[in-house]
Amino acid sequence: MTRQERAAWLFAAPVLGIIALVFVLPTLLAFGLSLTDYSIYALADWSNLRFVGLGNFADLLSTPLFWRALRNTALFAALGVPMAIGASLFTALLLHDATVRWKPVWRVALFAPYVTGVVATAVVWRYVLNTRFGLVNWALAQVGVAPVDWLGDPRWSIPAILLFVTWKVFGYNMIVFTAALAAVPGELMEAARLDGAGWWTRFRHVTLPAIGPTLLLAAVMSVAGFLQIFAEPYVMTLGGPSQSTTTVLYFMFEEGFKWWNLGQASAVAFVLFVLILALTLVQTRIGKRYEWL
Amino acid sequence: MAVTGKRARAVLLNALVAAITLAVLAPFAWMVTVSFMPRYESSRYPPPLWPSRWTWGNYYELLYRRLIDGAWFDYRIVPALGNSLVVATVSTLLGLLLTVPAGYAFAKLRFRGRERLLQLLIASLVVPGQVAMLPLFLIFREIGLVNTWPGLILPSLAGIFAILFVRQATLSIPDEMLDAARLDGAGELAIFRRVVLPLLAPVTVTLALFMFLGSWNDFLWPLIVLADQHRYTLPVAVAAISREHAADGELMMAAAVVTTLPVLLLFLALQRYYIGGLLGGSVKG
């Protein structure tokens, strides 16, 4: 072993060891766990543990609440990703305009919600969204809209939480898009302008292809993020009303750490993993087709 | 005509940005003003934006331990604040100690299996952390780490993202610089300390900020692994109170201020590094 090699292992081995212990090993064990009936009885005594094959997965398929959680999570992602990415792109484009002043100030202010914790801001938003005394309904009343029971009406609970999530996360991709927009070649933009291309044509044919890869990466990460929504319903709605905000991860948490069905919960975690992996592959495939990657 | 049109557009766009920013910051502003309102004042329509009388009462109620019917009572926010501070500081320092040298090794030191390991690390980014959480809880239970500081901090040290982040930043250091130091007879440790670390200082600050905020805001794992209320970190403690005191608007806003203010101040102080780290030097001013 060369001196360099010895140093490299000295530098890398500790963290690789920790990664192996707290991430790789448990991830492999998770699959094994999902094939057992690990429950509160096994928690008390290992001898109560039985191998059940794919039984947990079969059980899940016949659990209505699991399907409900899947549907809710799909709704969160399908509505949330365009909403959040749209807000990020809109503000990034706005801040990219040459006539806008004090850009660093706006950037810091719009980014601020991202650095704060979900729990504390969810607590604040529960009051902002309050039916009788909240700021949102008060603002809507100014334009003549009747009060909406944001967190108490199953039809509005997901949009309400998405409003909060978008507020909290859009600043991150706004900054990412700002960096991508700055890299769009200026000469190309000028040439398009001289050719008489309008704002939309320039956006469609110059800006969009240039920021395509960044946009795709942001979409992939956002999909993964929205599929992992947990703290927001935990704090704001407890998964309700009438289970309208019970997400896959919320379901997993309740199964695993409220009812101690850790085998079943592991199966849920695996379904989530497979979903994220599949959606990531589909998105990169689409990206390749449009030559964004 | 063209000039006034341009002028009008500039005014319009600036006004739009200002309006959006105002709307985004409004919840924070309201959080602060409501936290200083007398009890139940915010439960009124139209929602008051300004306290009729400024009071520290909610903070006193939230933070002070007091005797009620012969028993000590408090919301355990002050201990939770201390716990969060210690946990976030320790996991940031240990995280830097572990990942910065590793990131450098993956960028600049030649060792067998490097490319293979790197590919594995990148591939592992698609595995959501929650998959590992259930078995990890059982492993920690077997070795007695549940409800302990090491049990809370250890998972946050598996900084795959941090290693890749440092590696990326280190790639821009020219090899000639390191080779020159080697020709001068410097050992690998000395090269890392005296040549590489000073160059990585800004990146390290950015990473430290990411790590500190990540640990401070972390919720799911602390919720799982901490059973004892005295060990709760701030988010877990605030979530516990909020589930019981949902109607106490002013009190909960004070709890939100206590939780968010430290990170907002830290972010404002170091925003140059945070946003700069994300922008990657592509945007000036």
pLDDT tens, residue by residue, A94-106: 999 888 999 999 9
Higher pLDDT, A77 or A192: A77
pLDDT in tens, A110-141: 999 999 999 999 999 999 999 888 999 999 99
Per-residue pLDDT for B28 more than 60? yes
Interface test with B, best of A6, A116, A211, A266 (most B CBs within 10 A): A116
Three-class DSSP category at A63: coil
Backbone angles phi, psi at A38, to 5 degrees: -50, 120
- Residue-averaged pLDDT of chain B: 90
Q: Which residues 6+ apart lie within 8 Å of B79 measured at CB?
A: B230, B232
Cis bond before residue B46 (omega within 30° of 0): yes
Q: What pLDDT band is residue B2 in, cutting at 50, 70 and 90?
A: low
- Please name the residue of chain A whose CA is at the shortest distance from the CA of residue B269: A108
pLDDT band at A60 (very low <50, low <70, confident <90, very high): very high
Inside any domain, residue A38: no
Contacts of B206 (CB under 8 A, 6+ apart): B273, B274, B276, B277
- Is B179 within 8 Å of chain A by CB? no
The first and second tokens of residue B130, run together, are 């929650």
Residues of A in contact with B9 (CB under 8 A): 99
Domain count, chain A: 1
Quote the CA–CA distance of B163 and B5 in Å, as a whole number.
50
Task: Please choose, from the candidates B91, B94, B78, B79, the residue with its C-alpha nearest in 3D space to the C-alpha of residue B212.
Answer: B91
Share of chain A above pLDDT 90, in %: 68
Q: What is the ipTM of this complex?
A: 0.89
Superfamily classification of domain B77-279: MetI-like (1.10.3720.10)
If you average pLDDT over residues B178-184, what whole number do you get?
91
Q: Specify the length of chain A in residues.
A: 293
Q: Answer whether B221's CB lies under 8 Å from B147's CB.
A: no
Tokens of B194: 């005296």
What mean pLDDT comes out for the span A193-205?
A: 87
* Cα–Cα distance for residue pair B243/A123, rounded to 1 Å: 10
pLDDT of residue A91: 97
Domain of A263?
A: 55-289
The pLDDT score that the predictor gives to residue A292 is: 57
User: In a mutagenesis test of the B interface, which of A119, A176, A270 is the best target, namely the one with the most B β-carbons within 10 Å?
Assistant: A119
Of all residues in chain A, the one with the smallest CA distance to B258 is A120
Q: Which residue has the tokens 């490097």?
A: B114
Higher pLDDT, A21 or B46: A21
Asked if residue A223 is part of any domain, the answer here is yes
Mean pLDDT, chain A, integer: 91
In a domain, A273, yes or no: yes
In a domain, A89, yes or no: yes
| Mean pLDDT score, A142-151 | 92
Is B51 touching A (CB cutoff 8 A)? no
pLDDT higher than 70, residue B1: no
Q: Is residue A276 part of a domain?
A: yes
Question: What residue type is assigned to position A86 of the chain?
Answer: G
B277–A contact, CB cutoff 8 A: no
Is A276–B260 a contact, with Cβ atoms under 8 angstroms apart? no
Tell me whether residues B6 and A99 touch, CB distance under 8 A.
yes
B47 touches chain A (CB under 8 A): yes
| Nearest-angstrom CA–CA distance, A35 and A51 | 6
The dihedral region occupied by A200, where left means phi > 0, alpha psi between -120 and 50, and beta the remainder, is alpha
Question: Token digits for B177?
Answer: 């610089």
CA distance A48 to A263: 13
Q: What is the pLDDT of residue B284?
A: 47
Residues of B in contact with A133 (CB under 8 A): 42-45, 47, 249
Cβ neighbours of B138 in A, within 8 Å: 29, 33, 38, 262
| Burial state string for A131-146 with b = 16 or more CB within 10 A and e = fewer than 16 | eebbbbbbeeeeeeee
To the nearest whole Å, the CA of B70 is away from the closest chain A CA by: 31
Determine the residue type at A36: T
Question: Minimal Cα distance from B140: which residue of A?
Answer: A22
| CA atoms within a 13 Å half-sphere pointing along the CA-CB vector of B120 | 11
Q: How many CB pairs under 8 A join A and B?
A: 280
CATH assignment at residue A162: 1.10.3720.10
**A234 vs B159, B239, B252: nearest CB:** B239
